[in-house]
Amino acid sequence: MKVECIFCKIINGEIPSKKIYEDENVLAFLDINPSSPGHTLVVPKRHILDFQEIDDDDLLNLMKICKNLSKKIVSVLDADGYSILQNNGIAQDVKHFHLHIIPKYSNDKTMDIDEVYKKITNE
């Protein structure tokens, strides 16, 4: 049975994304419908449903990557803080484990996704 998962399609290159981090196990990309400029999704490349299914080693690896990315995002985008968020069950829009890094700003900051991408990737 083929999994119809938008994140798996992004991971497989079937759907384009603004990748800001990638290794053999993890992909991080900008959310196309961001809560704030720099809203990033950090996902395991292997399809894992939710928090209950992810093994401890994968979770620890994702959290380390999330920690490093959040430092970079906050610094480069001059954010005043950030939230790390993870949803499960009916709160989970995409049924593939993922972490959200959501930068927070004291003033309304507006940047389009291309501007954010250029700042984060130094392109």
Q: What percent of the chain is helix, strand and coil (3-state, nearest 5)? A: 35, 20, 45
Task: Of 53, 65, 64, 60, give the one whose Cα is nearest residue 28.
Answer: 65
Beta strand 81-85 with 40-44 is: unpaired
Scanning 17-87, the segments in alpha helix (DSSP H) are: 56-77
Look at the chain and report how many structural domains it folds into: 1
Q: For residues 38-65, give the mean pLDDT.
A: 97
Domain range spanning residue 85?
Answer: 6-121
55 part of a folded domain: yes
Q: Hey, which residues are catalytic here?
A: 98
Report pLDDT digits (tens) over 57-106: 999 999 999 999 999 999 999 999 999 999 999 999 999 999 999 999 99
In this structure, is the dihedral angle defined by the CA atoms of residues 17, 70, 85 and 109, taken in order, positive or negative? negative
**Global confidence as pTM:** 0.93
Q: Give the tokens for residue 65.
A: 């990557």
Task: Look up the CATH number of the domain holding residue 46.
Answer: 3.30.428.10
1 part of a folded domain: no
